[in-house]
Chains A and B, each alone.
Chain A
Amino acid sequence: MPSLLHILILMPLLFAVLIALAPSKQARAIAAIGSLVPIGPMLVALWKFDWANGGDLHFVSSYNWITDLGLRLGVGVDSVSLLLIALTVLLGPICVFGSFSAVKDNPKVFYGWLTGLQAAMIGVFAATDLVVFYICFEFTLLPLYVLINLYGSSNRKRAATKFFLYTFTGSIIALAGLVYVVFHHRGIEGDWTFDIATLTSTAMGMPVEAQALVLLALMLGFAVKVPLFPVHTWLPLAHTEAPTAGSVILAGVLLKLGTFGIYRFVLGFVPEAVIAYAPLIAVLSIIGIIYAGLICWVQKDVKKLVAYSSVSHLGFCVLGLVALNNVGLTGSVLYMINHGLSTGALFLCIGMVYERFHTRSMDELGGLASTMPIWSSFMVFFVMASVGLPGLNGFVSEFMCIIGTFQSSPAWVLEGRAGAAGGSLGPWFAFAAGFGVIVAAMYLLYMTGRVVWGTPKHPAGHDDDHSELPTDLNKREISLLTVLAIGCLGLGVYPTPVIEAIEPSVERTLAPYQDLLQAHAAEVGVRHEAASEEHSEPHAESHEGGH
């Protein structure tokens, strides 16, 4: 039975084909319509979704494809997937309208691939079948590869190739892990299936060693996409070289495919291994948060700075996920949406300046507040959202991720202390991650200070072309940024509805963790006692993670 999701996936695909067939002059108009039209079914979906039971799959539909492999073309969403789809659909028109003045040559290819990318991204979130997920996940590479390659800046070819190869390599390894889960299911139930819900229920029975291997494979794949330290090196390059729309989509949605993958598959499939290795993943996230933040601090290129800040911010997102409690996970999912809005907006702002001055270097830009007051106001607003100013969206999610990390102390669970929510991290992790917030404030405010205020500078190449663009923003640009600003403000002031929407899905994901976490905490407690009693023997088995 066809569902709303089919419309949402097929509509962009249809428009992409239309753009390919229509004459080049019409490409822009068709893309604009094609990006706005899906908002209709999206609103219907948001309205008809049963938010009270957000953890269940809605709008489910599936067709047999390769019966011998148990392969089905299945779609369905829970609340988290639906919210991420909403983010994707919202960012679609922003990318298209944001490229009107930037993309002049060969608009057909640009808008065609951009619209096609939209379909693939929605497909990733809507898939209920592993193979459909994987196909869409991989397919997102191709459009962005083309966009970066053809419309990027000077070093674009290297960036595109690096981006493609990093992610492709990662996801093949993830595929091996996913197939292992399928194989394990077959060993128990005797049939081949790629249905995610079915696999989630059987995968938990895997022995811990196997879980650890699957965790390794999946994390390798998704960590590249997120990206986590130390596999983040492709991202700054890709972001810097990508056209503005590419950067917005990359930061807004594509990076979330990684965190969404961790949320759905890593947390869903291998709980025991996640509990054992959460500290390790958290350490990597924290290194990413601080290390990338420090790199931001020394950047001259504004876009590169925001790119590295993505690495830093997504570190919080992963940290919230491995906190393994309600607050952390909810905060993390909220972070995915918030980061998409605020960082997407920052990339848009930088793109607008780049179109006017053809430079993004802080050495050449300065004092824009005097010549571009509207732009400067928006820039400061989104920087504040990104820094985590209370009242704007970044604050809520960042705070929740850190709180979640703080609470996830095994010792506190054992003591039965109020507020302890289970997990295998603890206050020290939160403390370390907290530095990231300070670092973020430092580099973002430093950058704003130089670019927006600072000494006014007039970069070369200011008035030679793009004469249709006024000195400050035009109405199109203002309306794009306004939409995102409303989102940032709304989610900052009153995030409750979204948080409530996320919670059922999070609770479902965390359901198998309650007992496991109790057991884990007890075990840690026993080990602690043993270690303190046998203090004279330093080799007491206080080694974390060895179940």
Chain B
Amino acid sequence: MAEKIALIWPEIVLFITTCIVMILGLSPNKQWRSLCLPASMAGLAVAGVLAVLGMTSGSQSETMLPNLPGFIKITVVGVGLLLLMLQGGLIDRREEALVASGRAFSPLRTNRAEYYSLVLFSLTGLMLCASASDLIWLFLALELTSLPTYVMVAMSSSRGRAQEAGVKYFYLGALGAATFLYGFVMLYGGTGELKLGPMAGVIATEGINNITLIGLLLSIAGLAFKIAAVPMHFYTADVYQGAASPVTAFLAFVPKTAGFVALLLVCSVAGWSYGESGNALPEAARIMIWVMAAVTMTVGNVLALMQSSVKRMLAYSSVAHSGYMLVGLLAGPGDGTFGGSGVSAVLFYLAAYGVTNTGAFAVIACLEKRAADRGEPLEVEDFDDLRGLWKREPVLGVVLAVSALSLMGFPPLFGFWAKLPLFTSGIAAGEITLVVVLGINSAIAAFYYLRLLKAAMIDDAKGTADSPDRPMHHPAYSLRLATGVLSAIGVVALVPMAGLLANGAKDAGLYANPTIDRDEGPITVQSEPVDRQIEEPSV
């Protein structure tokens, strides 16, 4: 118990912050109310410090990927701080303006407290996912990550499209959750264990039976919703487009990371010790993920190619990025080196994608158009709205260009370094065809990212003299701008530090399977019981 608590100190701090923020946001005093964002960020930062301390003190979770929580939590804190900054000025914009012009403050009309606590709840859930060591915990953590996001989407804008997106997201999310919950139940039914460590022990000693296998496949299918992989991607474009850009940035990172963490944990239970090389997932799961990865990349990229809306394009590209990361999931921990470990590659890619994508969405969030009906300002929508951005807003133009190039995987930006280990680990796992598909897809992706780059940096602004597009007039503009700039700096500055991050990802991807040694050969059904490090300290 004490060990478990030692592992989740960051979550505890984050939860306490959530409670404080919930009260702060209801204060009639404007100063107190405006403390919501700083308090959230401070709480997250403290959680980050605790996560670093926890990692250095060597606390491990009782799963097959014992070092996973530390890396994920630090990534979540890093990207989470950027995402929180981006949320500034999103909520209660009209209400605060009315209050400033003399209307009495009423807690009933404000959403600030709820909104920030929802954001923090979701981040807490994501961290808990990483710490999860049994299926119930994992399920609850996944739901804690997702449920707030449904509300956030609906709250993010007063326009009908946001509500529609929220409802759509919720129903499809519920479908996904039901699917992987069913899968979890089957896993339990097939192995008789809820805890991930002992469950892996049972599978390793007794082999994987059909019920467990079906459970595994169902879990993967359900979790595909969280990472927006085909065929569970249908909501992505509508939801990403409907939600306000800061929320979209949040959706592109948080549920996706939760989904991948859960996928890694669930797959690690079955282990990557099947197949001819003794280095693959069970054949059925391998085929499923293989097909899913190839189709997800291709469908995401091809659909992204056809979009005229920037946000829909980024939505489909986010689908494609999930497809890339599935290659890493398929490759598994390999021989444990950074270049050979797909798990490390996935973790590394999540961090890179989080930082880069936040930068791209921050730029979109900084720009808005005057609405024809004089209502809430519209977000920029089409590529045409971004044309000549560099001439109007040089900083935003550069940030968008850097983000687009990094998402493209253009060297020497961070996105390239993230893609490289996916290549190496995929090839190391013998999935050469899939790596070729990955390469071709990276090339397809270059088409639309180049279009984004061209719109922002090369093309002239639209003909009309008084272009309706302008940066938002709101104090939060500087915050959003800062988010974009910080992300872009991160994309460049993390490159010299890639070695450090790679080392972290390598440690985090450590697979606690002593039978990984190839000499022992693949584990077969009815083989001798194998000693597992994990079984001894688990009580």
* A interface list, Cβ under 8 A from B: 64-71, 131, 134-135, 138-139, 142, 146, 149-150, 157, 160-161, 164-165, 168-169, 172-173, 175-176, 179-180, 182-183, 186, 192, 213
6 sample A-B contacts, Cβ–Cβ < 8 Å, listed by A number: A67-B499, A139-B411, A139-B412, A146-B457, A179-B427, A192-B339
| Interface pair A68/B411, CB less than 8 Å apart | no
Contacts of A135 in B (CB 8 A): 411-412, 416
Residue B498, interface by CB 8 Å = yes
User: How far, in Å, is B320 (CB) from chain A's closest CB?
Assistant: 14
Given contacts A139-B412, A146-B458, A183-B427, contact A65 B442 (CB under 8 A): no
Contacts of B446 in A (CB 8 A): 164-165, 168-169
Given contacts A165-B443, A183-B424, contact A149 B458 (CB under 8 A): yes
Q: How far is the CA of A183 from the CA of B446 in the complex (A)?
A: 26
Given contacts A69-B421, A146-B458, A157-B454, contact A176 B410 (CB under 8 A): no
User: How far, in Å, is B393 (CB) from chain A's closest CB?
Assistant: 17
Among B317-374, those with CB < 8 Å from A are: 337-340
Among B400-440, those with CB < 8 Å from A are: 405, 408-412, 416-417, 420-421, 423-424, 427-428, 432, 435-436, 439-440
Contacts of A146 in B (CB 8 A): 457-458
Q: How far is the CA of A64 from the CA of B416 in the complex (A)?
A: 18
User: How far, in Å, is A156 (CB) from chain B's closest CB?
Assistant: 9
| Interface pair A150/B458, CB less than 8 Å apart | yes
| Interface pair B411/A134, CB less than 8 Å apart | yes
| Interface pair B432/A180, CB less than 8 Å apart | yes
Q: How far is the CA of A453 from the CA of B26 in the complex (A)?
A: 87
| Interface pair B499/A65, CB less than 8 Å apart | yes
Q: How far is the CA of A505 from the CA of B414 in the complex (A)?
A: 35
Contacts of A150 in B (CB 8 A): 458
User: How far, in Å, is A277 (CB) from chain B's closest CB?
Assistant: 19
Contacts of B337 in A (CB 8 A): 68, 192
Residue B506, interface by CB 8 Å = yes
Contacts of A64 in B (CB 8 A): 499
Number of A-B contacts (CB under 8 A): 100
Closest to B506 in A: A68
| Interface pair A168/B499, CB less than 8 Å apart | no
Q: How far is the CA of A149 from the CA of B453 in the complex (A)?
A: 12
Q: How far is the CA of A172 from the CA of B408 in the complex (A)?
A: 11
Residue B447, interface by CB 8 Å = yes
Most chain A C-beta atoms within 10 Å of own C-beta, residue among B424, B435, B439: B439
Most chain B C-beta atoms within 10 Å of own C-beta, residue among A64, A69, A146, A175: A69
Q: Interface majority SS on A: helix, strand, loop or mixed?
A: helix
Closest to A73 in B: B496
Q: How far is the CA of A146 from the CA of B459 in the complex (A)?
A: 11
Q: How far is the CA of A68 from the CA of B498 in the complex (A)?
A: 10
CB < 8 Å neighbour of A176 from B412, B435, B458:
B435
| Interface pair A180/B427, CB less than 8 Å apart | yes
Additional 14 contacts, C-beta under 8 A, given A131-B411, A179-B420: A66-B338, A66-B417, A66-B498, A66-B502, A68-B502, A69-B338, A139-B410, A139-B411, A164-B446, A175-B423, A176-B436, A179-B423, A180-B432, A183-B428
Q: How far is the CA of A429 from the CA of B503 in the complex (A)?
A: 52
| Interface pair A168/B428, CB less than 8 Å apart | no
Q: How far is the CA of A73 from the CA of B412 in the complex (A)?
A: 12
**4 tightest Cβ-Cβ pairs between the two chains A and B:** A68-B338, A169-B443, A135-B411, A66-B499
Q: How far is the CA of A182 from the CA of B427 in the complex (A)?
A: 10
Contacts of B447 in A (CB 8 A): 165
| Interface pair A65/B498, CB less than 8 Å apart | yes
Closest to B438 in A: A176
Contacts of A65 in B (CB 8 A): 498-499
Closest to B447 in A: A165
Contacts of B454 in A (CB 8 A): 149, 157, 161
Contacts of A165 in B (CB 8 A): 443, 446-447, 450
Q: How far is the CA of A150 from the CA of B460 in the complex (A)?
A: 10
User: How far, in Å, is A180 (CB) from chain B's closest CB?
Assistant: 6
Q: How far is the CA of A192 from the CA of B427 in the complex (A)?
A: 13
Q: How far is the CA of A329 from the CA of B450 in the complex (A)?
A: 37
| Interface pair A68/B458, CB less than 8 Å apart | no
Closest to B500 in A: A66
User: How far, in Å, is A270 (CB) from chain B's closest CB?
Assistant: 16
| Interface pair A173/B439, CB less than 8 Å apart | yes
Contacts of B409 in A (CB 8 A): 172
Q: How far is the CA of A71 from the CA of B420 in the complex (A)?
A: 12
User: How far, in Å, is B432 (CB) from chain A's closest CB?
Assistant: 7
Contacts of B420 in A (CB 8 A): 69, 131, 179
Contacts of B338 in A (CB 8 A): 66, 68-69, 192
Closest to B503 in A: A68
User: How far, in Å, is A106 (CB) from chain B's closest CB?
Assistant: 10
User: How far, in Å, is A177 (CB) from chain B's closest CB?
Assistant: 9
Contacts of B457 in A (CB 8 A): 146
Contacts of B440 in A (CB 8 A): 169, 172-173
Q: How far is the CA of A161 from the CA of B447 in the complex (A)?
A: 8
Contacts of B506 in A (CB 8 A): 68
| Interface pair B424/A69, CB less than 8 Å apart | yes
Given contacts A138-B411, A142-B410, A149-B458, contact A186 B339 (CB under 8 A): yes
